[in-house]
Amino acid sequence: MTTKTAVLDNTPVSPATSTVAPEKATFFVRIVGAAAFAHLLNDLIQAMLPAIYPMLKAQFSLNFSEIGMIALTYQVTASLLQPWVGLYTDRHPKPYLLPSGMIVTLLGIALLATAGSYPMLLVAAAVVGIGSATFHPEASRVARLASGGRFGTAQSTFQVGGNAGSAIGPLLTAAIVIPHGQSAVAWFMVAALIAVAVLFRLTRWTLTHGHVQSKRLTRHPMEGLGRSGVIRAVAVICVLMFAKFVYIASFTNYFTFYLIERFGLDVRESQIFLFVFLASVAIGTFAGGPVGDRIGRKAVIWVSFLGVAPFALALPYANLFWTAVLASVIGLMMSSAFAALVVYAQEAVPGRVGLVSGLMFGLMFGIGGVGAAGLGQLADGYGIVRVYGLTSFLPLLGLATAFLPNIRKKMQNR
């Protein structure tokens, strides 16, 4: 793949009168698409692990606490390591870390397919988590590098790949692993091998074109925020991420139970409603990035949270038809914020793409996991219908957006 080159004449011009601008960075569709495809494969593998928990529980005679320990081991390695990986590679670039991390995931799958004891299951979960922790910050960095300045579009495309993988993973697990047992987990090594090949190609592109592309992206360096501005922005983003992912977790984990209890649906019917919600999440995730490139990240965040609030508040009181409609609108609007939040944070702290990406994806995993557990406790104590009444107020936390510094205005002033 080649980059375009600008032809400039050699006529001397003074800095004051020069109108020759550095060549614009190119949006590399194939590179962003390859990063999204690798994200699909990675998250497909990650989604396989929780999908086999019932099988592991029966095969190894585990209790729920031991299953929870496997989940915790995976979440800790997958979430907490990401910011450290990103911070290290911001200071010491390691282009080959991408395929190397996927090779670690490949090893984790092999351990999971052959584990003969509970401790080995914990080791396998940890290794799979380490592979995921190395993937997200580095792959997000490549997607941004290939964005040509359309950061939101690139980030949302990258994220949709992950959403697709998370949806496909359980389906493949049900078709391949559940009927044939633990050893069939090894089939997911095929996905890991394909991902390794894709990531090697992405690494070669980064080594060949990354430096030039990076210079073009920074032809007008971003000032970022001062220390107090960064602290304020991070605090607000944490509040918004909490509201978004806890509310989304209430749907991805418990929407089928809500529909069954409130409307008397069977499992298959409730799964159709869940699929509609997840499809709207995928559409919203993709749409949020390009819209943010046009109107600004903060505007997308405002619309995503406060725009969805009336629908969220109405949901617990709607009949079945309007529950389906409202859930679709909620998924579409709420999910549009993620790409905007990631790119906003990257712009607030320029030069720390890996660290910021690691924090955002790690925070996403962590809040989603903790939120799902907390909602389960509430459902046990108060019932799942009551839980949806309580979580309907979460989008109102989007009022915290008012405290986000306006980076777009600052860049325009510059």
Q: Residue 119 above 90 pLDDT? A: yes
Q: 387 or 88, which is more confident?
A: 387
> CATH homologous superfamily for 227-413?
MFS general substrate transporter like domains (1.20.1250.20)
pLDDT value of position 7: 37
Mean pLDDT value of segment 204-208? 86
Indicate the CATH number of 29-217 among 3.30.70.260, 3.40.50.10860, 1.20.1250.20, 1.10.40.50.
1.20.1250.20
Q: 187 or 152, which is more confident?
A: 187
Q: How far apart are CA 292 and CA 337, in angstroms?
A: 9
pLDDT value of position 369: 67
Percent of the chain having pLDDT more than 70? 82
Count of Cβ atoms closer than 10 Å to residue 14 Cβ: 6
The amino acid at residue 384 is: I
Q: How far apart are the first and last CA of the chain?
A: 34
**Three-point CA angle 263, 373, 341, nearest 5°:** 95
CATH fold match for the domains 29-217 and 227-413: yes
Condensed to tens digits (0 to 9), the pLDDT of residues 229-245 reads 778 887 888 888 888 88
- By the 8 A CB rule, do 183 and 56 touch? no
pLDDT value of position 121: 93
Query: What letter would DSSP give residue 24?
Result: P
Domain boundaries, the chain: 29-217, 227-413
**Which single residue is written with the structure tokens 């159709």?**
272
